[in-house]
Amino acid sequence: MTTRRDEIANHLRELITNGTYAPGDVLPNQNAMKATYKTTSNTISAAVKALRDEGLVWRVANRGLIVQDTRPLYIDLSMATPPSNGLGPWETACHAAGRTGTMQLISVDRGAAAPDVARGLQLSVGATVVRRYRHALVDGQAVMLDTAYYPLSVVDGTPVAGSDKVDGGILAALIATGVLDPAAARVREIVGARAATKDEAETLRLRPSVSVLTAERVTLDGEAQPVELLHRVANARRIRFHTDDLPLRRL
């Protein structure tokens, strides 16, 4: 049996789907919805929760319920797309999809490699690494979180070890400084999924424990030595990883 909560949620969902409420619009407040639907605060809250669980709306302090853009963005997982017009790979990929993308640098630091990082970079535990943490934004909203690690011994003296954003992308900088030979470099990637942590859910505007996509990428130089370990956490409703036009290798 369809409940009153379901009826209201279905109607609001239809208004969002047909564009009456577009991405970025603010839904009416609870008092307005109570008057429109002639029901209680509890019923409105339950209907709104259903929409939040689906990722259709998100509550923003001092603004209210904001309609989210749920169109998925298809991104080449390796993100090795050649940049153009001074854009990095993420910005280039978003531009190709007709979207506005920004890679926002959050922090850069140096520290001792934890066991998992040391293993991924084939280093001794405790070796010094550079960690770069970034948010991948689409139309101003974070949809993917990147944490990348680099052996300091490899990137010291390059822009990758600096505290500024690297224009054109990290891979382009590694190639420009001679760390990577694009003809010989290789990429190894693993894709998975797990429940979002509290901080990840908040940043990606997800409900706690919602599943996120994960990806681990290791970039190796011509001698099969890792130069980058990249961990990605992506909003599964907004991001699709894909690879296209790969040659079929003979076994």
What are the domain boundaries of the chain?
Answer: 4-67, 73-242
Provide the residue-wise pLDDT of the chain in tens; the chain has 251 residues: 789 999 999 999 999 989 899 888 999 999 999 999 999 999 999 999 888 877 788 888 888 898 887 777 887 766 555 555 667 888 888 887 788 889 999 999 999 999 999 999 999 999 999 999 999 998 788 999 999 999 999 999 999 999 999 988 888 889 989 999 988 999 899 999 999 999 999 899 887 788 999 999 999 999 999 999 999 999 988 888 877 766 766 54
Which has the closest alpha carbon to 236: 118, 127, 73? Answer: 73
Strand partners, 229: 149, 218
In 3D space, the residue among 83, 102, 100 whose CA is nearest the CA of residue 92 turns out to be 83
Q: Does domain 73-242 have CATH number 3.40.1410.10?
A: yes
What pTM, to 2 d.p., does this model score? 0.80
Instruction: Return the CATH architecture of domain 4-67.
Output: Orthogonal Bundle (1.10)
Q: Rounded CA gap, 148 and 232, in Å?
A: 9
